Chains A and B, each alone.
Chain A
Amino acid sequence: MSVTSHHSFCLSRIPFKIGQPKKQIVSKTVERDFEREYEKLQKLEDQTKKLHKDMKKSTDADLAMSKAAVKISADLLSNPLCEQDQAFLDSITALDTAMKRMDAFNQEKVNQIQKTVIDPLKKYSGVFPSLNMAVKRREQALQDYKRLQSKVEKYEEKEKNGPAMVKLHQAKEELRPVKEDFEAKNQQLLDEMPKFYQSRIDYFQPSFEALIRAQVVYFTEMYKIFSELTDQIDQGGLTDEQRQRETEAKLTELRALSIVADD
């Protein structure tokens, strides 16, 4: 059957060549349904893993960024430069306090995201190996079924003498549990796969909501912190161009000093 040829669980373990039975074991429709459901699951697996990986990376970068911002102010605060000028020290202290508060809120945000987004994503990805294994087992069962079915068919074609009848009976006896096993597994998967696929919506819904809500809280706090700080340490209401011009003017003034090498 075509399933084995293009599926990732293609069996390399079958030790001998299987005779193809004449009887159609699984209907084409069933096989197609099965393939379609399984393909959907495989895509879902890829996407879940990717999202999990990206979320983790992005959270790590977010944390690192926040820590780097804290380090900017902390290093300045520990620089003896602050001892030279009380007003400068006040500014840096205010900056440092703000950075640390921001970092604390960020940490809380990240913790919430970890709990409500990243961990659930990880758990969800964890189901796929079991599913894949189950699909593999079904495929094994199908191969066993086919093998025994063709064996039964072989004896049925032979002369109906005594020993042949005994062998036919034995083969049929052997086939029965294998057939039942396959049918059970097949049915189980046909039931479980769409159910599981459907479960993603209810499963991830809270995660995305939490992801957005966590940031709302974080940025609301961050805005409060930095509005306050900006009022305290920044000359208000400058446009970027004005800031650039001011900086450029200072740099020009510095470059005009004879002790400064300009090149």
Chain B
Amino acid sequence: MLITNMEVPWKLPHIILPKPASSSMRPQGAVRRGAIKSTLKEELQEKSDGSSEKGDEVGEEKLSPEEESASEPVNLEVIGTNTGPTMFRLPSQDSLSGENTVSEEMLAEEARKKSKEEEAAAKERAAQRQQLAIEELVQSERNYLRMLQICSVDIRSSLQQLQPPLANLDRLFLYIEDVMEVSSRLLSLLDRRPSGEPQFLQTLCDSFLSLSSDIEAAYKEYLAYYNQISIVENSYKQKEALWNEIVRIIKASAPEVNASSLSFFLVMPVQRIARYPLLLQTIQKHTDTSHPAFKLLEKTALTSIALNCRINEYKRFREVADKYKKTETLTIKDKINRLNPHSIAKKTARFSQQLKHETGIKPKLVDEEFDAFEGFFNILEHGILVLLENVETYLLHLQRFLDCRTEEFDLDMDGEKSPICYKEITTALRQWILPTFEKRMRTLIHKPLCALRDLLVGPRNLIRKRLDKLLDFEMIESKSTLSYDEQAVANTYRTINTLLLNELPRFNGLALQMIWSMLGTFSCMHKDLAADMEQLFQSFAQQLPHSHLHPSAFWEWAESAVLESAKKLQTVCQNVEDTLNAPVVQPLSPSSQRRLKQLTDKHGSGKIYQVASTVVGSRDLDLNLARGELVAILSEADTRGDKRRWLVDAGGRRGYAPSSKLIRYHQAMEDPPPSPHLIVPLDVTGKRRHSYTPESQPMPMRVVRQPYFQVIAAYDFTARGNHEVSLRVGEPVCVLEPYDKRGNREWSLVEAISGQRGYVPSNYLSMKPVEARPPGFVF
């Protein structure tokens, strides 16, 4: 007894102030200790002997609260035989575990008396301990939150000022704010009542229970993410100078604690969540079962355990998922290095298993439910990728459209309404309407789509990994006993499969919803754009000169106006070409005219050239030629094939002349004699297509000298209808148009000497140079 009594004060500080490290290391132990309403002694025993019967029994109790409460009366009964109806755990247990063999009445009486005193003292002590335990919870929560604040506010802001900026700094503090928030909410609930009050326990439990789901949510993410925090911190540790600087900041920011790393603070939530069960159970242990809040406290303690279990479960799933969902970015070298007999054997086995499936040797393990989810995921993935690609194409063309600065022209029409309106409209739509639309398109559709695409990677990799593991699993499935490794393979498969079955439908559903709402947004954006544009265009359209016209009337007017203008333009074009492109023709002397006739008769008009400047022959058979002399070309090369020396006929004399000094003798451009030998250059035909419009050929300034030519009929022609005119051979005619109404050059409109007009075949006409000018028939 003395021993136990002495043990109490010795043990007390240990229970009330468990070291964070040990409590987080053994949460299960702590749970068990709390769940058994054990005495200190028992606890000691249990600590030394983990496999005690009591421990096992309570292990079951922990699972179901009902069972636990059922076992309580039994406990009470046992205790009741020695201590009476009021149960004091500490002394009663003492008497059970102590030497019960003391049987003297006196001693018993004394013991009874003593136990009454002790009872009172123990009651007092228990109340004190309970109070201490409660305060421990509240106080440690307060300290804990303060540490987190130091870390996430003071230290973080100092770290943010480091130059160069720390990489991934924000990742260190990713979920800590949620944890702090839930902690401060808990504290503020607790602060509503002083901790000394008897009802405080009730408040404590209520607060904890009301926040338990929030606590779980906040710590779940923090714990699952904690590995990343360690990775980031380790990356800082790699750089010594940087790390020293970080440590200096830590020490300066929190001098009261002996912290030398960030994880000193950042690990606290990990420890804290595991500590709640321990703290609650300690309180429970020092709380009388008759206490009004006892049941609630019990429930709270159990909740805190269940919460830890779920967090651990979540963490485990996340770890498996994290292991396989990431796409590994390995270089080929890394991949080769990774190849080892084990991995090769694994891959070969999977491959052969797959072959067996394909060839039908072995039946495939079919999971219809999973296959449906996977199928949906596949088409969803395809849909997202195609949609994203199309949206990008759309944005690209939109950008191209925006790049066309169609308002930047200056046709010197600034007095006119319509070009000004057009410029103003285009400026507005290029500078704000469409850019706004594009920005919305990017934020509301393109960006979320990109994010969605990135999220596809995880499930995609897990699905792939599931198949690998399934193949492994199939091979060992039939075995009756599994080795440790095989057990691990089976477990991995089951975990991945469960994970996917649980989460893939949710993923699919959410992603589909996102696409759906994006399309709604897309439509709405088009509506808004159309509304803006319509308003803009409409407001300007009303100012236009033809705004009063109905659409159909307007388009009729616009199209005919455009056609009319085009015709006028054609006329201008024709005038310019006809009149200004005509070459100057020098009058010919009578002797030259004679030679022209002689040469034309002999060689045809196409062969006539004029000498550009005086030629003095230097070689055999070269001719001396005067400037302006006319010659006919016999051959465009000399006997040796030299294309620079042409053989010419200079009206009787024949010989060579340098081709560079000869220029084609141009006859009248407007009405080239439509002789059968005349080759009409193609481009001229093209340009002249519309020139048969009579009014298109007003040539007011025509002063060009014409050669003295007379067009005559080369053969007799008899008109076949009244649109043709009959001609006699040699009859002089006046060519009115060297083509018919459709521009066909095979027919010419002529006026005969009789004054009759009509068409004749162009190749029936010839021409001859004339000495005198017969009035009215000269061209």
Q: Is B one of A's binding partners?
A: yes
Chain A contacts to B: CB under 8 angstroms: 40, 43-44, 47-48, 50-51, 54-55, 57-58, 60-62, 64-65, 68-69, 71-72, 75-76, 79-81, 84-85, 88, 91-92, 95, 98, 102, 112, 115-116, 119-120, 123-124, 126-127, 130-131, 133-134, 137-138, 141, 144, 173-174, 177-178, 180-181, 183-185, 187-189, 192, 195-196, 199-213, 215-217, 219-220, 222-223, 225-227, 229-230, 233-235, 238, 240, 243-244, 246-247, 250-251, 253-263
Q: Is B74 an interface residue (CB 8 A)?
A: no
Residue in contact with A208 in the complex, picked from B386, B418, B566, B704, CB distance below 8 Å = B418
Instruction: Kindly state the separation between the CA atoms of A200 and B584 in the bound complex, as whole angstroms.
Output: 32
- Are B576 and A192 in contact (CB-based, < 8 A)? yes
Given A65-B398, A227-B527, CB of A116 within 8 Å of CB of B455:
no
Residues of chain A lying within 8 A (CB to CB) of residue B383:
75-76, 79, 81
Instruction: Kindly state the separation between the CA atoms of A85 and B325 in the bound complex, as whole angstroms.
Output: 28
Residues of chain B lying within 8 A (CB to CB) of residue A80:
379
Given A134-B581, A211-B422, A243-B444, CB of A120 within 8 Å of CB of B459:
no
Instruction: Kindly state the separation between the CA atoms of A205 and B587 in the bound complex, as whole angstroms.
Output: 48
Residue in contact with A68 in the complex, picked from B390, B408, B518, CB distance below 8 Å = B390
Residues of chain A lying within 8 A (CB to CB) of residue B520:
91, 230, 233-235
Query: What is the number of residues of chain B that contact chain A, defined by CB distance less than 8 Å?
Result: 115
- Are A203 and B569 in contact (CB-based, < 8 A)? yes
- Are B411 and A48 in contact (CB-based, < 8 A)? yes
Instruction: Kindly state the separation between the CA atoms of A36 and B527 in the bound complex, as whole angstroms.
Output: 50
Chain B contacts to A: CB under 8 angstroms: 221, 314, 317-318, 321-322, 325-326, 376, 379-380, 382-383, 386-387, 390-391, 393-394, 396-398, 400-401, 403-406, 408-413, 416, 418-419, 421-422, 425, 440, 443-444, 448, 451-452, 455, 457-459, 461-462, 499-500, 503-504, 506-507, 510-514, 516-524, 526-527, 529-531, 533-534, 537-538, 540-541, 544-546, 551, 554-555, 557-559, 561-562, 565-566, 568-569, 572-573, 575-577, 579-581, 584-587, 701-705
- Are B511 and A254 in contact (CB-based, < 8 A)? yes
Given A212-B540, A257-B506, CB of A223 within 8 Å of CB of B523:
no
Among residues of B, the one whose C-beta sits closest to the C-beta of A182 is B584
> Assuming A180-B705, A210-B558, A244-B444, what are 11 further A-B pairs, CB within 8 angstroms?
A72-B387, A81-B376, A127-B576, A185-B579, A192-B576, A222-B529, A222-B533, A234-B517, A234-B521, A234-B524, A247-B517
- Are B544 and A209 in contact (CB-based, < 8 A)? yes
Residues of chain B lying within 8 A (CB to CB) of residue A138:
580
Residue in contact with A192 in the complex, picked from B457, B461, B527, B572, CB distance below 8 Å = B572
- Are B562 and A207 in contact (CB-based, < 8 A)? yes
Given A68-B397, A76-B387, CB of A54 within 8 Å of CB of B503:
no
- Are A61 and B512 in contact (CB-based, < 8 A)? no
Instruction: Kindly state the separation between the CA atoms of A32 and B161 in the bound complex, as whole angstroms.
Output: 70
- Are A212 and B512 in contact (CB-based, < 8 A)? no
- Are A112 and B555 in contact (CB-based, < 8 A)? yes
Residues of chain B lying within 8 A (CB to CB) of residue A48:
411
- Are A260 and B524 in contact (CB-based, < 8 A)? no
Residues of chain B lying within 8 A (CB to CB) of residue A187:
701
Given A95-B523, A116-B562, CB of A208 within 8 Å of CB of B421:
yes
Residues of chain B lying within 8 A (CB to CB) of residue A98:
523
Chosen A-B contacts, 30 in total, with CB atoms closer than 8 Å, are A40-B412, A72-B394, A75-B383, A91-B516, A91-B519, A115-B559, A120-B562, A133-B581, A173-B587, A184-B703, A187-B701, A188-B579, A212-B540, A212-B541, A213-B551, A215-B425, A215-B537, A216-B534, A222-B526, A230-B527, A233-B516, A234-B520, A234-B524, A235-B517, A240-B440, A247-B444, A259-B459, A259-B503, A260-B325, A260-B455
- Are A233 and B443 in contact (CB-based, < 8 A)? no
Residues of chain A lying within 8 A (CB to CB) of residue B537:
212, 215-216, 219
- Are A47 and B703 in contact (CB-based, < 8 A)? no
Residue in contact with A134 in the complex, picked from B386, B403, B522, B580, CB distance below 8 Å = B580
Residues of chain A lying within 8 A (CB to CB) of residue B406:
51, 54-55, 58
- Are A202 and B565 in contact (CB-based, < 8 A)? yes
- Are A174 and B586 in contact (CB-based, < 8 A)? yes
- Are B523 and A230 in contact (CB-based, < 8 A)? yes
Instruction: Kindly state the separation between the CA atoms of A201 and B413 in the bound complex, as whole angstroms.
Output: 7
Residues of chain B lying within 8 A (CB to CB) of residue A261:
322, 325-326, 455, 457-458, 461
Among residues of A, the one whose C-beta sits closest to the C-beta of B574 is A130
Instruction: Kindly state the separation between the CA atoms of A220 and B529 in the bound complex, as whole angstroms.
Output: 11
Write the nearest CB–CB distance from B627 to chain A, whole angstroms. 10
Residue in contact with B321 in the complex, picked from A208, A213, A258, CB distance below 8 Å = A258
Residue in contact with B703 in the complex, picked from A181, A225, A255, CB distance below 8 Å = A181
- Are B530 and A219 in contact (CB-based, < 8 A)? yes
Residues of chain A lying within 8 A (CB to CB) of residue B397:
61, 64-65, 68
- Are B325 and A259 in contact (CB-based, < 8 A)? yes
Across chains A and B, which 8 residue pairs bring their CB atoms closest together, nearest first? A234-B520, A58-B404, A208-B418, A261-B458, A134-B580, A223-B530, A61-B401, A226-B527
- Are B506 and A189 in contact (CB-based, < 8 A)? no
Among residues of A, the one whose C-beta sits closest to the C-beta of B532 is A219
Residues of chain A lying within 8 A (CB to CB) of residue B580:
133-134, 137-138, 185, 188-189
Write the nearest CB–CB distance from A161 to chain B, whole angstroms. 21
Write the nearest CB–CB distance from B718 to chain A, whole angstroms. 41
Residues of chain B lying within 8 A (CB to CB) of residue A260:
325, 455, 458-459, 507
Write the nearest CB–CB distance from A55 to chain B, whole angstroms. 6
Instruction: Kindly state the separation between the CA atoms of A43 and B409 in the bound complex, as whole angstroms.
Output: 11
Instruction: Kindly state the separation between the CA atoms of A135 and B512 in the bound complex, as whole angstroms.
Output: 68
Residues of chain A lying within 8 A (CB to CB) of residue B318:
258
Residue in contact with A141 in the complex, picked from B419, B551, B584, CB distance below 8 Å = B584
- Are A51 and B409 in contact (CB-based, < 8 A)? yes
Q: Which of A116, A134, A202, A205 has the most CB of B within 10 A?
A: A205
Instruction: Kindly state the separation between the CA atoms of A136 and B435 in the bound complex, as whole angstroms.
Output: 47
Residues of chain A lying within 8 A (CB to CB) of residue B440:
240
Residues of chain A lying within 8 A (CB to CB) of residue B545:
205, 209
- Are A206 and B409 in contact (CB-based, < 8 A)? no
Instruction: Kindly state the separation between the CA atoms of A98 and B530 in the bound complex, as whole angstroms.
Output: 13
Write the nearest CB–CB distance from A118 to chain B, whole angstroms. 11
Given A91-B519, A254-B510, A260-B325, CB of A213 within 8 Å of CB of B704:
no
Residues of chain A lying within 8 A (CB to CB) of residue B566:
120, 123
Write the nearest CB–CB distance from A249 to chain B, whole angstroms. 10
Q: Which of B458, B584, B587 has the most CB of A within 10 A?
A: B584
